């Protein structure tokens, strides 16, 4: 059963303005898929359709074999949206942010023992145990991204989705993020959708590249598209 399935999907935000046309995509359990494309090419819209945040104009979008916009399995998704951030004056600590990732799985009230165990595990997996009580505003950009990934992991998802996760972080932090995602994929077997215009962080190990320019113009191993993969102009055109 595919985790994500788009069949003959068209989408436009305004009458006559088509963002995506004739999109067919299937992502299986345990895959690591990078989704690339120029600004305005439809890659983030494709992601929103896959998650049920938008509905197709034509065709269908399935998530865990259910219509995506009616999916009963949203708790199975860990989602790092574009430019996830927290107000700099907020007192929230790393642990506070990660605990929020358990909210979809519990009713209002105190964290259970299982909730706390999942939070501790997520913080440890991203290498922030020694900073768990530190306010988010005192972390570097790369450390903040790790905290938000831990939040996404706290629900123990089957699908981890990252939309432009390297925005605003330096090269060293990008490399660390790539290594973290490689280990998470190997250790947990979680399905990963990685949407970005920069793939240096995951280029060495990503299994599949989907290139979007209103439609899917390439879907396969990055090694089969060497010129476009290594030349940034092809994803910014």
| pLDDT string in tens for the chain (237-residue length) | 799 999 999 998 776 678 999 999 999 999 999 998 888 889 989 999 999 999 999 999 999 999 999 988 888 899 988 765 555 556 889 999 999 888 765 555 678 899 999 999 999 999 999 999 999 989 988 899 899 999 999 989 999 999 988 877 788 888 888 899 999 999 999 999 999 877 777 888 888 999 999 999 999 998 887 565 444 434 433
Give yes or no for a contact between 33 and 27, defined as CB atoms under 8 angstroms apart.
yes
Domain ranges of the chain: 1-73+158-237, 86-157
Q: What are phi and psi of 148, to 5 degrees?
A: -70, -35
Evaluate whether the domain defined by 1-73+158-237 bears CATH number 3.30.70.660.
Answer: no
The pTM of the full predicted model, rounded to 2 decimals, is 0.86
| Long-range contact set of residues 222-226: C-beta below 8 Å, sequence gap at least 24 | 222/34
How far is residue 17 CA from its own chain's centroid? Answer: 26
Alpha carbons 32 and 185: distance in angstroms, whole number: 7
């Amino acid at each position: 059963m595919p985790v994500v399935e788009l069949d003959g999907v068209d989408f436009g935000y305004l009458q006559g303005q088509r963002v995506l046309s004739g999109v067919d995509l299937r992502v299986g359990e345990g895959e690591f898929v990078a989704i690339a494309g120029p600004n305005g090419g439809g890659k983030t819209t494709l992601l929103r359709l896959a998650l049920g945040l938008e509905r197709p104009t034509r065709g269908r979008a399935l998530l865990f074999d259910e219509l995506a916009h009616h999916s009963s399995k949203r708790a199975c998704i860990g989602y790092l949206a574009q430019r996830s951030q927290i107000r700099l004056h907020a007192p929230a600590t790393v642990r506070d942010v990660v605990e929020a990732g358990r909210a979809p799985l519990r009713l209002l009230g105190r964290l259970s023992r299982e909730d706390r165990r999942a939070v501790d595990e997520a913080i440890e997996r991203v290498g922030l145990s020694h900073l768990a009580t530190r306010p988010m505003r005192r972390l570097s950009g790369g450390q903040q991204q790790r905290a938000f990934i831990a939040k996404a992991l706290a629900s123990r998802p089957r699908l981890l989705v990252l939309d432009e996760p390297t925005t605003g972080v330096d090269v060293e932090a990008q490399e660390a993020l790539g290594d973290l995602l490689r280990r998470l994929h190997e250790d947990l077997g979680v399905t990963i959708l990685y949407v970005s215009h920069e793939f240096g962080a995951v280029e060495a190990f990503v299994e599949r590249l989907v290139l979007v320019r209103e439609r899917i113009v390439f879907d396969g191993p990055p090694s089969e598209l060497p010129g476009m993969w290594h030349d940034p102009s092809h994803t910014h055109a």
